[in-house]
Structure 1
Amino acid sequence: MKGPLFYAKILLFGEYGIIKDSKGLAIPFNSYKGALKTAQHLTGEAKKSNENLLNFYEYLKTLDSDLVIFDLEAFKNDIANGMYFDSSIPQGYGIGSSGALVASIYDKYATDKITVLENLTRDKLIKLKAVFSLMESFFHGKSSGLDPLNSYLSLPILINSKENIEATGIPSQKEGKGAVFLLDSEQVGETEPMVNIFMNKMKNEGFRKMLHEEFVTYTDACIDDFLKGNVKSLFGNVKNLSKVVLANFKPMIPNAFHKVWEKGIQTNDYYLKLCGSGGGGYILGFTEDYEKAQKSLENYKLEIVYRF
């Protein structure tokens, strides 16, 4: 048995802001993926995954919601028969490892599932996101449901607000010099502690003001520019966003990267932003000249996500 593939996701814009109703833009990232598989003899990662699925089953059993019904009997039997989630998506890297797992479980065991082939109305997308939020809370304590939604649909998703999300198209990639890339911090980040730091910061009026007036403003502008293909304007807004994040989200940026972050802003070789909740994992980079960024970041592992 091998289930369908579910891909990683990258939240290009909107991390933390979407908790407070800014816009967000998430795209599937097909370089990493996962699928449900079964084996008779489980060892190592597969065994760990199987045990994790059993814990997830116990959690789903306790869910009291009218939103979704699962065939829990089938899920339990498959776990007993050696089912595990075989995934190349690195965990704690901000690209949706738990999201892909959640999407695969919903796809296989939800009895009244909304399928990708349906006409995906806004109501259906909101319902799916709510279901995925409930499910993924098992992993993070609090989840927007966006990662599994992206993985499940395998489409770019535009978040206009909590109650207004839509599948969207993004401009096709060009063979230009510019790029969006991942920078590997080579350390794992955990979502829950980072979200807790953010929630504590939100108690501060000055932080809330900055979030509303600067962070959300630049995030929304970046998304508009990206979707319309206004590359010149995009880089101006990404630079401003990068500055705001460095000034106000330092705990979410691994210490070793504070200077690297600053260097990008000063040289204009590249601009960095958080990828997911931060604290480790990948950092997202934007550059108008990828070769120049590569030279500037020669000591780090980079991976291209999108070309301008």
Structure 2
Amino acid sequence: MKGPLFYSKILLFGEYGIIQDSKGLSIPYNFYKGALKTEDNPSEKAIQSNKNLVGFASYLSKLQTEQPALVQFDLESLDKDIFNGMYFDSSIPQGYGVGSSGALVAAIYDKYASDKITVLENLTRVKLVQLKNIFSNMESFFHGKSSGLDPLNSYLSLPILINSKDNIQATGIPTQSVNGKGAVFLLDSGIVGETAPMVSLFMENLKNQGFRKMLKSQFIKHTDACVENFLHGDVKSLFENTKKLSKVVLNNFKPMIPEQFHALWQNGLETNDYYLKLCGSGGGGYILGFTQDLEKAKKVLKEYKIEVVYQF
């Protein structure tokens, strides 16, 4: 048995901000993927994944009892498949901010949810918000608090524009220029990040009035501008606003940036060779980079593993 493939995602803009109603833009990233599988001679990794599914299935059973109107699953089939050794076979790195748990949630919903909303129907805003809400509740098993966007992106395999918590839509993004000089890239920090502690730190910071003010007047303002610039293909303004955003993150989200990357982050701002921003909750995993000259950035960052996501 092998299920359909579910891809990783990249939240280009909106990390943390979307918790406070900023805009956001999330795109599928087909480089990494996962599928539900069962095989006769499972590896150690498969056995571990199967064990994790036992806990998740029990959580889903509780979820549908507590919120029967939200979602119902064919739990009998799910339990039977898990008993027979089903696991999630995934190349998506965990703790890297590219949606490993999101892809698993999407796969489980796709296979076991009753009356599921499908990609083939007319995806109205109401249906998108309903899906996001279901996924948010499902993924909370992994993170404590989830926006539901990662699974939504993985399930639909479409770019998602977040206007606010209750206003999301599938969107188109400008076509990539394959030989473009500018690019968005992933920089591997080599450290596994954990979402839950980073999110609780952010929630703690929100109690501080100065932090809330900075979030609204700077972080959300620049994030919203970046989303608009990207969608309209306004590359010049996009880099101006990404630089501002990168600076605000360095000054106010330092704990979310691994310490050994503070100087590299600052260097990008000083030289304009590249600008860095958080990919997901930070604390490790990938760091997102934006550059107007990919070849130059590659030279400057030659000690790091870089993956190009999008070219301008």
- Corresponding residue number in structure 2 for 1:261: 265
CA–CA distance in structure 1, aligned partners of residues 310 and 157 of structure 2:
16
CA–CA distance in structure 2, aligned partners of residues 222 and 111 of structure 1:
38
- The correspondence of residues 1-308 of structure 1 with structure 2, limited to 5 A, is 1-63=1-63, 64-65=66-67, 66-174=69-177, 175-308=179-312
Deviation string, structure 1 residues 86-124 (Cα, Å, up to 9, x no partner): 000000000000000000000000011000000000000
Deviation string, structure 1 residues 135-163 (Cα, Å, up to 9, x no partner): 00000000000000000000000000001
Matched residue type, 1:24? G
Residue 180 (structure 1) shift: 0.1
Moved more, 32-41 or 270-279: 32-41
* Segments of 4+ moved more than 4 angstroms: none
Please tell me whether the aligned partners of residues 40 and 81 of structure 1 are also in contact (alpha carbons under 8 angstroms). no
- Structure 1 length normalisation: TM-score? 0.99
CA–CA distance in structure 1, aligned partners of residues 278 and 304 of structure 2:
16
Gaps spanning 5+ residues in structure 1: where?
none
What secondary structure sits across from 1:3 in the alignment? coil
Residue 40 (structure 1) shift: 2.3
Number of residue-to-residue matches in the alignment = 308
CA–CA distance in structure 2, aligned partners of residues 81 and 133 of structure 1:
28
- Structure 2 length normalisation: TM-score? 0.98
CA–CA distance in structure 2, aligned partners of residues 19 and 188 of structure 1:
23
Matched residue type, 1:203? K
What secondary structure sits across from 1:159 in the alignment? strand
Moved more, 38-47 or 222-231: 38-47
Residue 82 (structure 1) shift: 1.1
Deviation string, structure 1 residues 141-198 (Cα, Å, up to 9, x no partner): 0000000000000000000000100000000001210000000000000000000110
Residue 125 (structure 1) shift: 0.2
Residue 3 (structure 1) shift: 0.3
CA–CA distance in structure 2, aligned partners of residues 150 and 84 of structure 1:
21
CA–CA distance in structure 2, aligned partners of residues 87 and 193 of structure 1:
24
Gaps spanning 5+ residues in structure 2: where?
none
Matched residue type, 1:12? L
Matched residue type, 2:175? S
CA–CA distance in structure 2, aligned partners of residues 68 and 87 of structure 1:
25
CA–CA distance in structure 2, aligned partners of residues 206 and 288 of structure 1:
33
CA–CA distance in structure 1, aligned partners of residues 41 and 187 of structure 2:
36
CA–CA distance in structure 2, aligned partners of residues 89 and 42 of structure 1:
18
CA–CA distance in structure 2, aligned partners of residues 41 and 269 of structure 1:
49
Deviation string, structure 1 residues 276-304 (Cα, Å, up to 9, x no partner): 00000000000000011011111100000
Deviation string, structure 1 residues 60-91 (Cα, Å, up to 9, x no partner): 11112111100000000000111000000000
What secondary structure sits across from 1:33 in the alignment? strand
Residue 43 (structure 1) shift: 2.8
